[in-house]
Chains A and B, each alone.
Chain A
C-alpha cells in the first residue's frame, strides 16, 4: 500500500506542475503568436519566454524522482 501512495505522490508532484506549465505556456504562446504577427524579429525572445514556465514541471520531475528514489 505504501508503494501505491509513494507512486501517487510522485505522480502528483510531476502532474500538477505539468498542468500549471501547460496553462502558462498556452497563455504565453497565444500572446507570443500575436506578438510575432506584428514583430517577427522577436521570434527568439518569444521561444525563450515560452520555455520559461517549463521550470515548474522540471522541478516537479525532480521532486517526483526524489520521492521515488530516496
Chain B
C-alpha cells in the first residue's frame, strides 16, 4: 500500500544549517523538495534566496573535494587488505592526512608503474618461452643448424601458411625451409631456416606480409636454442621475483594505510554530500528554510530529535498537503507479508501517483483466484505447490526465486480448490481412477456455463475498478469526475443486465426499460466527457467480454490433459503409456503456468487497472548517507 506522507518545513538559524542537514542525513527519512519553497510567501524584507556559501565554506569544500580526489586515486592503486576501516576520526588529522596522501600517492604510483612494467616483461618472456619450446624439436631436426639463419614466426592459420610457403620459396629461390608446430596455447608457430645470404630478403618478405617474428633479446640471438631457453627461464625467474618484491612493498603500504584512507574517504564523501545538499536550502537574512517530504509516521520522532539536538532552535512543522501538491508527493510502497511477493508484478508498471492506489494488494487478491480458475486441476495444483514450497524455502527471503515461490504457492492453493470444483486431477484421470466428480461443473463439457461464469467475474472485476476510480477522484477532490465514473458504472450495469435479459429472459428483467435507462444516461455522459463517452462504454463492455479468456484458456488446458491421458492409454504398454502421458502433462503444466500468469496479469493491467490506476508517481528518495564501510 502507499505510505501516508507528510509535507514538512524545517526552519532554523542560518548557522545551524550544516548540522541540521547532517542530522537529516543520518536519519535518512527526509526528501527535500525545493519546488515547494517557491510557494512560500514572506515579507519583502525577508525575501527567500538560494543559499550561497560564504568564502570560508567554499574554501573548505574545495579543500575536501581536492583531498577526496587524491585519496580515491591512492585507494585505487593500493591492493585490498583484510583490515577493513580504521575507527580513526579523520577531522582532527585532516591537515596531516592532506600532507601524507601526496607522499603515499607518489610512492604508490611509482610502485604501481614498476609493477606494470615488470609484469609486462614477465608476460613477454613467458610468451617467448612458449614459442621457443614448441620450436625446439624442429630445430633438432635441422642439419648444420649453425650455418643457417633461423626465424621464429607466428602463423594465423593454414591458409596463411600455404601462401607464406609459396612466397618465401619464390623470394629465396627455394633456399628456405618452413617447419611448423602448435604451442601449448594452441597457436601455430613456424621455424623458417634459410641460407644466411638470403636472410635479409626473407626478413623483408616477412615484414611485407605482416608476419610477426618472435621477439628475442639481441644478446640471446647468438646462443644455441637450449641455452637460449635456459637464459629466458632465468630472466623470467628474476622478473617474477622482482614483481613479488614490488607487490610486497605495495601490500605493506596498503596494510598500514588503507584502513585510514578508507575511513577518510567515507568521511569526505559524507561531508561533500552535505555541501551538495545545501543547494536545496533557502535562506532569509537570519534563517534557513528547507521543505520536503517524509513518512507521516516519522514526523513526531524527527521533531523530537531536532528539539533535542538544537534545544528548540530548529523547528519542524507539518503542513497541509494542498491539491496542487498531489502530483508532487513522492510515493513509497510497503506491503505486509502475504502481499509483498506480489510486488514482482506491480514493479512491471510505473509507480502509481500518491492520490492513486498501490496495485500490489489488488494483484495479490485477484491474481491467484484467476490463476486457479484458469488452471483448476488438483494434480497440477499439488505439483505447483511443491515447486513453490521448494523455491520459497530454498532461496533467501526477499529474493526473486523466493517471491516467485510464494506467489506460485498462493496460485497453487486456488488451483487445487478450483480443481475440486471442476472435478479435475490431471484432466479426467481423477474421475477414472478415484471417482472424482465435479462439485460445480465439468469444464470439458459445460463450455457455455463456464463462459457465462468467466464474463460474470469480468463484470464484478471491472465494476470494482470503476468504483475504485470514483473513490480515487474523490481523494483527488474531483467530485464531478467521481460522479461521472459512478454514472458510467450505472450505465455499464444497466447494459449488462439488458444483455442478461436478452439471452436469459426473466419476467423481472425487462430489456426495454434497462436500455431506456442507458439511453437516459448517455446524454449526461456525452455532455460531461464529449463524444468519446459512448466509445468508452463500448470499450468497457469489450473489457468485460475479454474475461471470457478465463474459460477459453482453461478449456484448452483441460482438453490437453485429457488428450495426454488418452494417448498414454492408447500405447498398450504401462511404462510407455506413463512416459507419454507424463511428458504431455509436463508440457501442459508448463503451458499451465505460463498462460494463466500472462493472461491473469493482462486482465489486471489492461482491463482492471485502466479503470482507476493513475500512474507516473515520483519515487520517495530520502537523503541518505553513503553506506558506511565496515569498521575494525
A14 to B553, CA, bound (A): 14
Partner of A55, one of B345, B347, B448, B549: B549
Beyond A62-B548, A65-B448, 14 additional contacts (C-beta under 8 Å) are A44-B345, A44-B348, A45-B348, A47-B598, A48-B605, A51-B602, A54-B549, A58-B548, A58-B552, A59-B545, A59-B548, A62-B551, A62-B552, A66-B448
The yes or no answer to B606 lying at the interface (CB within 8 A) is yes
B601 within 8 A of A: yes
Which residues of A19-70 are within 8 A (CB) of B?
A: 44-45, 47-48, 51-52, 54-55, 58-59, 61-62, 65-66, 69-70
Interface string of B542-582 (1 = CB under 8 A from A): 00011011011100000000000000000000000000000
Interface contact A48-B448, CB-CB below 8 Å: no
CB neighbours of B548 from chain A (8 A): 58-59, 62
A55 touches B451 (CB 8 A): no
List residues of chain B with CB within 8 A of the CB of A54: 549, 599
Complex alpha-carbon distance, A48 and B602, angstroms: 6
Beta-carbon nearest neighbor of A60 in chain B: B552
Interface residues on B, range: 10 to 19
> Whose C-beta in chain A lies nearest to the C-beta of B348?
A44
Question: A52: which B residues are within 8 A, CB to CB?
Answer: 602, 606
Distance in Å from the Cβ of B152 to the closest Cβ of chain A?
44
Is B447 close to A, CB under 8 A? yes
Nearest B residue (CB) for A45: B348
Q: Is the interface of A mostly helix, strand, loop or mixed?
A: helix
* Least Cβ–Cβ distance between B6 and chain A, in angstroms: 32
Are the C-beta atoms of B549 and A58 separated by less than 8 Å?
yes
Does B549 contact A69, Cβ atoms closer than 8 Å?
no
Could you say which residues of chain A place their CB within 8 Å of the CB of B345?
44
Kindly provide the distance from the CB of B373 to the nearest chain A CB, expressed in whole angstroms. 15
In the complex, what distance in Å separates the CA atom of A26 from the CA atom of B20? 58
Q: Which of A47, A48, A59 has the most CB of B within 10 A?
A: A48
B601: chain A residues at CB < 8 Å are 48
What 7 A-B pairs come out closest when comparing CB atoms? A44-B348, A51-B598, A58-B552, A58-B549, A51-B602, A61-B552, A62-B548
A43 nearest CB neighbor, chain B only: B348
Residues of A within 8 Å of B451, CB to CB, are: 62, 65
Q: List 19 A-B contacts (CB under 8 A).
A: A44-B345, A44-B347, A45-B348, A48-B348, A48-B605, A52-B606, A55-B549, A58-B548, A58-B549, A58-B552, A58-B553, A59-B545, A59-B546, A59-B548, A61-B552, A62-B548, A62-B551, A66-B448, A70-B448
Inter-chain contact A51/B552, CB cutoff 8 Å: no
Closest to A49 in B: B602
- Alpha-carbon distance between A70 and B448 when the two chains are bound, in angstroms: 9
List B contacts of A62 (CB < 8 A): 451, 548, 551-552
Taking Cβ atoms with an 8 Å cutoff, the residues of B that contact A are 345, 347-348, 447-448, 451, 545-546, 548-549, 551-553, 598-599, 601-602, 605-606
Q: Which residue of B lies closest to A50 (CB)?
A: B598
Separation in Å of the B245 CB from the closest CB of chain A? Answer: 46
* CA of A45 to CA of B551, assembled, Å: 24
Question: Which B residue's beta carbon lies closest to that of A46?
Answer: B348
Indicate the size class of the contact surface on chain A. 10 to 19
Least CB separation from B503: chain A residue: A70
> A45-B348, A62-B552 given as contacts; is B599 within 8 A of A51 (CB)?
yes
Chain B residues with CB below 8 A from A55, complex form: 546, 549
In the complex, residue of chain A having the shortest beta-carbon distance to the beta carbon of B448: A69
Contact indicator B598/A69 (Cβ below 8 Å): no
Q: Which residue of B lies closest to A44 (CB)?
A: B348
In the bound assembly, the distance between CA atoms of A47 and B344 in angstroms comes to 14
Q: How many Å lie between the Cα of A51 and that of B603 in the bound state? A: 11
Residue ID in chain A nearest B349 by CB atoms: A45
A68 to chain B, nearest CB (A): 9
Considering the chains assembled together, what is the distance between the CA atoms of A47 and B348 in angstroms? Answer: 11
In the bound complex, CA of A48 to CA of B606 (Å): 9
- Chain B neighbourhood of A58, CB < 8 A: 546, 548-549, 552-553
Distance in Å from the Cβ of B592 to the closest Cβ of chain A? 15
A55-B348 Cα distance, complex, nearest whole Å: 21
Q: How far is the CA of A54 from the CA of B348 in the complex (A)?
A: 20
Q: In whole Å, how far is B401's beta carbon from the nearest beta carbon of chain A? A: 16
Min CB distance, A24 to chain B, in Å? 14
A61 to B605 Cα, complex, angstroms: 23
| Chain B neighbourhood of A47, CB < 8 A | 598
Docked Cα-Cα span, A65 to B552, in Å, equals: 10
Tell me the bound Cα distance from A61 to B348 in angstroms.
30
**In angstroms, how far is the closest chain A Cβ from the Cβ of B126?**
39
| Residues in chain A near residue B447, CB distance under 8 A | 65, 69
Tell me, in angstroms, the Cα distance from A44 to B448 when the chains sit together.
Answer: 32
B548 to chain A: closest CB distance in Å?
Answer: 5
The answer to whether A48 and B549 touch across the interface, beta carbons within 8 angstroms, is: no
Tell me how far the C-beta of A18 lies from the nearest C-beta in chain B, rounded to whole angstroms.
Answer: 12
Residues on the A chain within 8 Å of B606, using CB: 48, 52
Q: Give chain B nearest CB distance to A23 CB in angstroms.
A: 19
**A44→B602 CA distance, assembly (Å):** 11
Q: How far is the CA of A54 from the CA of B605 in the complex (A)?
A: 15
Q: What B residues does A45 contact at CB under 8 A? A: 348
Within the complex, the shortest CB–CB distance from A9 to chain B, in Å, comes to 17
Q: How far is the CA of A44 from the CA of B549 in the complex (A)?
A: 20
A35 to B: closest C-beta gap in Å: 14
Could you say which residues of chain A place their CB within 8 Å of the CB of B545? 59
Q: Which residues of A contact B605 (CB under 8 A)?
A: 48
Contacts of B546 in A (CB 8 A): 55, 58-59
A34 CB to nearest chain B CB (Å)? 19
Given A59-B545, A65-B447, A65-B451, the answer on whether A48 and B552 have CB atoms closer than 8 Å is: no
A59 to B541, CA, bound (A): 13
Q: Which residues from B are CB-within-8-Å of A51? A: 598-599, 602
Q: Which residues of B contact A69 (CB under 8 A)?
A: 447-448
State in angstroms the CA–CA spacing of A10 and B266 once bound together.
72
Q: Chain B residues near A66 (CB, 8 Å)?
A: 448
Q: How far is the CA of A58 from the CA of B550 in the complex (A)?
A: 10
Which residue among A44, A45, A58 has the maximum number of chain B CB atoms within 10 Å of its CB?
Answer: A58
Give the Cβ gap from B458 to chain A, nearest Cβ, in Å.
12
Q: Smallest distance from the beta carbon of B304 to chain A beta carbons, Å?
A: 41
In angstroms, Cα B598 to Cα A47, docked, is 7
Nearest chain B CB to A27's CB is how many angstroms away? 18
Residues of chain A contacted by B553 (CB below 8 angstroms):
58
A66–B606 alpha-carbon span in the complex (Å): 25
